[in-house]
């Protein structure tokens, strides 16, 4: 009879629920730990989880807590440490109840809180891509987000129970979860060496996705069961006897073949069940490595080995840490029998894979300071390196946690893109397609518009906004970090400059030669490029266009006698220049002249609505300044080079303006500023925030259509709490 107090405070009375006691029995107790202390800790997690999930039900109609209990039980059976088991009990508390991670942090060990946090984060990521090659990246993402392999182990226990109870879900959900398990979790289990978990998952996947095939195999397996065990025993019994002669205390048993592996062979080899199921399988577990080889010798004496079917994964472990000796022999009646020989330790490793190493380590360590995940992973890598011959692929998998040099982000369609840490939306865009990068005008991360220099984070969903009118600009080079983006931007900028200069150079040459009535000389002038040290006509013309070399210099050398007549045309040069240089100026009208090479001065960045003036530069077309620009008086002596210019803008054109916003440094200040700007429909192309003595100074480069829009933004920002002043600035 249970003490009535036991229900409320079992820890005082010492009578815990039966279910709890069963779990406790399975929990490994490290040598250096007090069993009572572990029981108390575990009870705390058990009770907390039960209370939090109270009233919640699974689809099966059972209490939600049952799921948490099953997850914890799996972890205990895999001999995970008690903190991981606590993590298993609490794994859905943050995701599915009102409890927050800081509640967990207050109540439990930091280690436990970290595990729960990790599992919760993983819960937020779902694999939606239909492309199989994406699964590998997704695995890396999971590891990267988890930070601690124990989080992945909990996730496996969770997935295992969800797959076991999948029949209660609606058909479409069953399908999605089974596919995700097939493409991500089963291969990941394989890579981590969790062989048992993998085959249980594989069978559940088969049962969900191909129920008819599963049933067929299942029925046939059951029907042949009796005959099979009879045959297996006819091999096991003599083997046991023979091994005993050599003082080998071996555990010999018939190994069931999984439904999924039979199905896989039927499909791959196009055979029927009977042809596949001819093969019998036996496993022999011994104490020591030497005994593995001795056992192998004994077996080969008793039965003749099948040719080429021997594999020594003890001396050469698989990259996931798997160790075993495999051989196939010809048994009684000529049936093939597959035999696996391994030590108990290898058997355990094969069950839960790399996590086994962690488990051994915990027992052997005195203090609880195994906490540093990174340290642990580093050690894991060492373990794997010493045991395995070619673990490069697996190493690479773990490396991301060690050095944190890669992130994975999603495209809107669910594909994963691998990028270096600190990559920006521009890097992302170029990674996907050059055109996407070239025309990138903005980006959304997790549905929110963000500045293009924002650093992306693991698991972000990134959407690129493009515009035909947008092109790379020099500013991008300040924050892109991938070589791909950098190369494309530089190449684009160089080509544009080159194209414009060549066009301009040709026009300068044409006009000047016509004026001098020397147009027939054009060909010979163009071919004289090597006299001026250029490699080609294009390079020569480009030099004329960008002002590196002038027509005067050219003629001085080619026709010293024509000097005077040239002088006259030189005077006229500026006008000439304007006449023809009517190229791709966007938004500028020069007294009815279009098509001119125009740049906006960086010192004042004029935008529509500003009064402005053009300045004819040497070879670089016209630079447009605001009429109140401080740089202009310096140029007054060259007033003949100043030109009136007007705006000529289409509604869709946007211009970049730099503004300085100064305010108190408070949490969310930057967010407030960006929201004020966005609310006036302006894009932010760059943000630079500096904080000093609690004063935050932010420089934004924003896109506006005209000075009216800019005025509205400045007014809005000025009215915002905590912002002291706002001003428009040059570079």
**Residue 534 corresponds to which tokens in the numbers above?**
């250029």
Stretch touching Mn ion by CB under 5 A, among 158-166, 337-345, 655-663, 668-676: 158-166
User: DSSP label at 456?
Assistant: P
324: CB partners within 8 A, 6+ apart: 313, 314, 340, 341, 342, 346, 350
Stretch touching Mn ion by CB under 5 A, among 156-164, 319-327, 346-354, 716-724: 156-164
Residue 406 interacts with Mn ion (CB under 5 A)?
no
Q: Known catalytic residue: 96? A: yes
**Residue 477 corresponds to which tokens in the numbers above?**
């080079």
- Name the minimum Å distance from CB 64 to Mn ion: 9
CB 84: neighbour CB atoms within 10 A?
A: 26
448: CB partners within 8 A, 6+ apart: none
Residue 158 interacts with Mn ion (CB under 5 A)?
yes
User: DSSP label at 591?
Assistant: T
Which residue, 158 or 183, has its beta carbon nearer to Mn ion?
158
Three-state SS sequence of 382-451? HHHHHHCCCCHHHHHHHHHHHHCCEEEEECCCCCEEEEECCCCHHHHHHHHCHHHHHCEEEEEECCEEEC
Which residue, 109 or 158, has its beta carbon nearer to Mn ion?
158
- Name the minimum Å distance from CB 32 to Mn ion: 31
Which residue, 157 or 464, has its beta carbon nearer to Mn ion?
157
φ and ψ of 405, to 5 deg: -100, 5
- Name the minimum Å distance from CB 19 to Mn ion: 18
Among the listed residues 15, 66, 95, 387, the single catalytic one is 95
Whether the CB-CB separation of 82 and 28 falls below 8 Å is answered with yes
588: CB partners within 8 A, 6+ apart: 596, 598, 614, 622, 624, 645, 646, 647, 648
Separation CA 357–CA 369 (nearest Å): 16
Residue 460 interacts with Mn ion (CB under 5 A)?
no
Which residue, 161 or 318, has its beta carbon nearer to Mn ion?
161
Stretch touching Mn ion by CB under 5 A, among 155-163, 223-231, 533-541, 629-637: 155-163
Kindly tell me which residue out of 70, 92, 203, 427 binds Mn ion, with binding defined by CB under 5 A: 92
3-state secondary structure of 50: helix
Which residue, 154 or 250, has its beta carbon nearer to Mn ion?
154
Among the listed residues 15, 66, 77, 96, the single catalytic one is 96
Which residue, 58 or 497, has its beta carbon nearer to Mn ion?
58
Which residue, 67 or 283, has its beta carbon nearer to Mn ion?
67
* Residue bearing tokens 């904080």: 691
- Name the minimum Å distance from CB 91 to Mn ion: 6
- Name the minimum Å distance from CB 48 to Mn ion: 16
Separation CA 560–CA 415 (nearest Å): 66
85: CB partners within 8 A, 6+ apart: 23, 27, 42, 72, 75, 76
Which residue minimizes CB distance to Mn ion? Answer: 158
Provide the Cα torsion 360, 362, 365, 371; round to 10°. Answer: 140
Stretch touching Mn ion by CB under 5 A, among 78-86, 91-99, 102-110, 678-686: 91-99
Which residue, 49 or 319, has its beta carbon nearer to Mn ion?
49
Candidates 364, 324, 357; CA nearest to 343 is 324
- Name the minimum Å distance from CB 128 to Mn ion: 19
Alpha helix (H) residue ranges in 680-722: 707-719
Which residue, 164 or 589, has its beta carbon nearer to Mn ion?
164
φ and ψ of 598, to 5 deg: -125, 140
**Residue 654 corresponds to which tokens in the numbers above?**
């946007």
- Name the minimum Å distance from CB 41 to Mn ion: 21
- Name the minimum Å distance from CB 92 to Mn ion: 4
CB 728: neighbour CB atoms within 10 A?
A: 18
Pairing of strands 622-626, 598-600: parallel
**291 CB-contact burial (10 Å; exposed 0-12 / middle 13-18 / buried 19+):** buried
Stretch touching Mn ion by CB under 5 A, among 89-97, 523-531, 591-599, 712-720: 89-97
Q: Known catalytic residue: 31? A: no
Stretch touching Mn ion by CB under 5 A, among 85-93, 107-115, 227-235, 445-453: 85-93
Candidates 714, 697, 468, 683; CA nearest to 609 is 714
Stretch touching Mn ion by CB under 5 A, among 87-95, 378-386, 428-436, 467-475: 87-95
Which residue, 71 or 139, has its beta carbon nearer to Mn ion?
71
Identify the bridge partners of residue 689 per DSSP, sorted by sequence position. 698
Stretch touching Mn ion by CB under 5 A, among 9-17, 151-159, 318-326, 532-540: 151-159
393: CB partners within 8 A, 6+ apart: 319
- Name the minimum Å distance from CB 351 to Mn ion: 21
- Name the minimum Å distance from CB 472 to Mn ion: 46
Tell me the DSSP string of 325-336: EEEEEE-GGG-E
Which residue, 92 or 703, has its beta carbon nearer to Mn ion?
92
- Name the minimum Å distance from CB 47 to Mn ion: 18
Residues labelled catalytic: 95-96
Residues within the interface to Mn ion (CB under 5 A): 92, 158
């Amino acid at each position: 009879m249970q003490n009535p107090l036991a229900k409320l405070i079992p820890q005082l009375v010492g009578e815990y629920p039966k279910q709890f006691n069963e779990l406790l029995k399975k929990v490994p107790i490290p040598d250096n730990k007090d069993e009572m202390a572990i029981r108390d800790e575990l009870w705390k997690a058990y009770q907390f989880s039960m209370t939090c999930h109270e009233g919640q039900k699974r689809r099966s109609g059972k209490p939600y807590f049952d799921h948490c209990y099953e997850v914890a039980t799996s972890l205990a059976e895999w001999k995970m440490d008690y903190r991981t088991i606590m993590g298993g009990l609490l794994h859905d508390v943050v995701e599915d109840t009102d409890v927050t991670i800081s509640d967990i942090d207050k109540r439990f060990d930091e280690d436990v809180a970290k595990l729960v946090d990790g599992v919760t984060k993983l819960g937020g990521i779902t694999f939606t891509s239909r492309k199989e090659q994406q699964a590998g990246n997704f695995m890396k993402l999971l590891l990267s987000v988890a930070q601690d392999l124990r989080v992945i182990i909990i996730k496996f226990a969770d997935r295992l129970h969800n797959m076991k109870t999948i029949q209660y879900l609606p058909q479409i959900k069953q399908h999605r979860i089974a596919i995700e398990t097939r493409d991500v979790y089963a291969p990941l289990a394989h890579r981590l060496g969790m062989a048992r978990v993998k085959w249980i998952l594989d069978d559940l996947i088969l049962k969900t996705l191909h129920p008819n095939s599963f049933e067929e195999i299942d029925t046939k397996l059951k029907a042949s069961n009796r005959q099979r065990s009879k045959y297996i025993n006819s091999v096991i019994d003599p083997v046991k006897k023979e091994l005993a002669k050599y003082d080998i205390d071996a555990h010999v048993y018939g190994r069931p073949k999984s439904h999924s592996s039979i199905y896989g062979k039927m499909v791959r080899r196009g055979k029927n069940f009977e042809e596949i199921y001819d093969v019998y399988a036996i496993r022999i577990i011994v104490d020591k490595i030497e005994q593995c080889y001795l056992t192998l010798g004994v077996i080969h004496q008793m039965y003749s080995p099948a040719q080429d079917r021997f594999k020594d994964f003890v001396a050469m472990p698989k990259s996931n840490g798997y160790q075993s000796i495999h051989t196939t022999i010809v048994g009684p009646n000529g049936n093939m029998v597959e035999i696996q020989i391994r030590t108990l330790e290898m058997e355990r490793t094969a069950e839960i894979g790399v996590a086994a190493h962690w488990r051994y380590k915990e027992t052997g360590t005195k203090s609880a300071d195994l906490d540093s995940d990174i340290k642990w992973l580093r050690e894991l890598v060492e373990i794997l390196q010493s045991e395995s011959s070619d673990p490069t692929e697996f190493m690479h998998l773990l490396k991301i946690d060690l050095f944190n040099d890669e992130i994975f982000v999603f495209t809107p369609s669910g594909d994963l893109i691998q990028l270096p840490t600190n990559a920006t939306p521009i890097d992302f865009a170029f990674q996907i397609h050059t055109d996407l990068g070239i025309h990138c005008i903005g980006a959304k991360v997790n549905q929110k518009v963000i500045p293009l220099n924002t650093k992306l984070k693991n698991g972000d969903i990134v959407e690129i906004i493009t515009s035909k009118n947008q092109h790379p600009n020099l500013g991008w080079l300040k924050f892109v970090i991938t070589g791909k983006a950098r190369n494309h931007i530089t190449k684009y900028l160089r080509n544009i400059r080159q194209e414009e200069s060549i066009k301009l150079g040709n026009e300068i040459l044409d006009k000047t030669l016509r004026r001098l009535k020397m147009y027939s000389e054009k060909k010979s002038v163009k071919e004289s490029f090597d006299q001026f040290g250029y490699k080609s006509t294009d390079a020569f013309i480009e030099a004329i266009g960008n002002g590196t070399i002038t027509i005067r210099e050219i003629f001085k050398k080619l026709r010293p006698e024509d000097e005077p007549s040239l002088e006259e045309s030189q005077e006229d040069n500026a006008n000439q220049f304007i006449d023809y240089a009517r190229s791709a100026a966007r938004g500028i009208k020069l007294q009815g002249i279009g098509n001119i090479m125009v740049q906006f001065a960086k010192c004042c960045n004029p935008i529509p609505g500003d009064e402005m003036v053009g300045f004819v530069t040497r070879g670089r077309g016209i630079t447009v300044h605001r009429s109140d620009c401080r740089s202009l008086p310096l140029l007054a002596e060259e007033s003949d080079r100043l030109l009136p210019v007007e705006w000529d803008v289409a509604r869709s054109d946007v211009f970049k303006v730099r503004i300085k916003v100064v305010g108190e440094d408070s949490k969310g200040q930057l967010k407030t500023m960006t929201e004020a700007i966005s609310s006036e429909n302006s894009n932010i192309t760059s943000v630079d925030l500096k904080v000093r003595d609690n004063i935050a100074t932010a420089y934004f480069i924003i896109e506006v259509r005209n000075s009216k829009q800019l005025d509205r933004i400045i007014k809005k920002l000025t009215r915002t709490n905590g912002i002291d002043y706002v001003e428009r600035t040059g570079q």
